[in-house]
Each structure stands twice: as C-alpha cells, then as structure tokens.
C-alpha cells in the first residue's frame, strides 16, 4: 500500500527566501506525482505534474524534482512571497486503476 | 473552459440524515474521484467512477455511495450521517485516471 509523507508539517519563512518542501513515498513503482496548493477551506490547485520518466518540472518560481529510486520528490520555491502562503500537498499515482494518494501537506507561511 | 464544479459549497445536516453532493467534471474528462478531507489532514480517497461504474473504493463504509451519469457528472450520497462525517468533500476529474483536476469542494457540517 502506497504511503506518502511530507516534511515539515509546517514552515514559516521571511519573504524573499528560497525554500524546499519534501515528499517521500514508500512504493517507487509510480506512474506520476503531482504537487497541489490548497488555500484555507478551498479546493486543490494543481501546480506541477511529473511523469515517472521525468526528473523535474518547472513553472515560474516553482521547480519540482523526482527521484523514483529513493522514493522522494522536492518542491523548490524561489524568492518566496506572502501570496505563496498556503498548504502544499504531494500526491502519487501508482498506475493502473489505483487512486491518487496524498500526503498530509506542508503548511507554509511567508512573512512580509 | 469550465473546470470541475461542485455543489453545494456549504451544507449543514443533522445526525442521521442523508446528503447528496454533486460534481460536474472538467470538459473532456471521463473519470470522477471523490475524496474526504478532515481539518489538517490530506484528502482520503472514497471511490472512483469510470463508465458509470465504481472502479475503485477506499476504506469507507457502505453508508457512502455514489453514481456516475452518462454525461460523466457524479453524485456522492452519505446515509445515516455521523458527526465524524463533517469534512470538506472534494471531487476530482481526470481522463482515464491521468492528470487530476479538483473542484472547490463542499463543506459538510453535521450537527
């Protein structure tokens, strides 16, 4: 059974700092991995999707990497802004008809 | 292009009642998945519908049931509501289980 862990559970940084969020998964036989953003009480917004054959994906100030063999992914946020404050969720699809499995998320606060 | 639409946005029900939540998938998507998210937790998989049939199911009791219609829209039904069913219910659509898009969710409060 796939399990996803996100560390740290919460993070507070000053504006302008570069930061890294971590995600680990127990079964390395994955199909793809997605990073989502969730604002309080709201739905999920997809940030980046990495296929199992890819090593990284970039969108603006966001860069996500994937190391399948070690069961890890990182989300790098450059030059953080107060508007980046949200919960970031990592989710893994193990292929076939298996569902998307989520971690508990990292709650990020960027202080102006 | 409309994304995933969920209704209602908020709902308050009494213990023992039944509730129906609705979801319209993103255009071009044929698969609908439902998740329950308790406060401070990650979303937990309830079930997934494809071609009007339940294809996968998570660890949820039979009180949770669903349906998918020919136009790919879906309903989640919960019977005999418990206080513990209070949560944010998220619907996601995808094309054959690839590339999930989530709706804004329905906040269910059971009193």
Q: Does B60 touch chain A (CB under 8 A)?
A: no
Instruction: Over range A75-95, report the average pLDDT.
Output: 96
Task: Please report, rounded to a whole number, the percentage of residues in chain A having pLDDT higher than 90.
Answer: 92
Work out the pLDDT band at A17, boundaries 50, 70, 90. Answer: very high
Residue from the list A46, A98, A101 with its beta carbon closest to the beta carbon of B101: A46
**Residue A96 scores a pLDDT above 90:** no
The pLDDT value recorded for residue B1 is 56
Average pLDDT over residues B25-45: 95
Amino acid A98: pLDDT: 84
* pLDDT category of residue B98 using cuts at 50, 70 and 90: confident
Min Cα separation B106/chain A (Å): 9
Give B31's contacts (C-beta < 8 A, 6+ positions apart). B25, B48, B49, B50, B55, B93, B94, B95, B96, B97
The answer to whether the CB atoms of B55 and A97 lie below 8 A apart is yes
DSSP B38: -
Q: What is the pLDDT, as a whole number, of residue A97?
A: 76
| Residues of chain A found within 8 Å of residue B26, distances taken between Cβ atoms | none
Flag whether pLDDT at A102 surpasses 60. Answer: yes
Which residues on chain B are in Cβ contact (under 8 Å) with A101? Answer: 45
Contact between A65 and A56 under an 8 Å Cβ cutoff? The reply is: yes
Q: Within an 8 Å CB–CB cutoff, is residue A92 touching chain B? A: no
Mean pLDDT of chain A: 95
């Amino acid at each position: 059974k796939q399990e996803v862990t996100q560390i740290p559970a919460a993070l507070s940084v000053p504006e302008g700092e570069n930061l890294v969020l971590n995600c680990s998964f127990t079964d390395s036989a994955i199909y793809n991995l997605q990073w989502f953003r969730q604002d309080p009480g709201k739905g999920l917004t997809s940030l980046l999707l990495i296929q199992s054959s890819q090593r990284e994906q970039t969108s603006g100030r966001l860069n996500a990497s994937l190391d399948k063999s070690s069961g890890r992914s990182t989300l790098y946020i450059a030059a953080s802004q107060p508007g980046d404050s949200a919960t970031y969720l990592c989710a893994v699809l193990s292929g076939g008809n298996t569902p998307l499995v989520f971690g508990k998320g990292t709650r990020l606060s960027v202080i102006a | 292009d409309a994304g995933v639409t969920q209704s209602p946005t908020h709902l308050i029900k009494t213990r023992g009642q039944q509730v129906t939540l609705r979801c319209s998938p993103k255009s071009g998507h044929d698969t609908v998945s439902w998740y329950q998210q308790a406060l401070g937790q990650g979303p937990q998989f309830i079930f997934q519908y494809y071609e009007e049939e339940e294809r996968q199911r998570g660890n949820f009791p039979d009180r949770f049931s669903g349906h998918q219609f020919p136009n790919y829209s879906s309903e989640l039904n919960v019977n005999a509501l418990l206080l513990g069913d209070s949560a944010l219910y998220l619907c996601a659509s995808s094309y054959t289980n690839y590339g999930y898009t989530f709706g804004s969710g329905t906040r269910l409060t059971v009193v």
